[in-house]
Amino acid sequence: MEESIGLAMKHLFILVLTLLLAACASQYRYNPLQNIGIGPYHASIGQNLYRVHFKTLGSNKETTRLQALKHAKYLTSNQNLDWFIVLKEQVITEQLESLEANEVLRITCNENECHQSTYSNPHFKQQFTASDKPVTTEVIVVIRMGRGIQPAVKKSYSAY
């Protein structure tokens, strides 16, 4: 009887440890609602219409844009569709302005114009090591997906 209780406690300990490790591993998965983490995110906003985000640490806009397009391509092929068109593109760069006040400078650029704002985020600096420059870059593309002959427009991409 004591052996079965000990075995049950051992299994419980392993389960709790596994859950704790899983929680730590997913801490920096990108979540645009909380404005923390890095990586891809997407949301359906209509039939064959998606908003695709990709966020990276650092200030390389072109690399981040290519990652967003790669995620859009992946998403399109998973829907068993052949192509997608970028309807709208936005680049958001954020950097820590004041360590003491946790003030973040945000620059949002569309195809025609840029806007600048600041806000407070006590969690922003936790994404970086001491040697990292506290900057994030996020690219958001709105895409429409389709099947069949790919449109011959500039911002049209194949899913394959």
Q: State the average pLDDT over residues 47-74.
A: 95
> What are the structural domain ranges in the chain?
31-158
Residue 49: partners with Cβ closer than 8 Å, 6 or more residues away? 142, 143, 144, 145
The region that residue 69 occupies, defined by phi over 0 for left and psi between -120 and 50 for alpha, beta otherwise, is alpha
Task: Supply the pLDDT for residue 91.
Answer: 97
Task: Supply the pLDDT for residue 83.
Answer: 97
The predicted-structure confidence for 24-60, as pLDDT tens digits, reads as follows: 443 445 555 556 678 899 999 999 999 999 999 999 9
- The whole-model pTM stands at 0.76
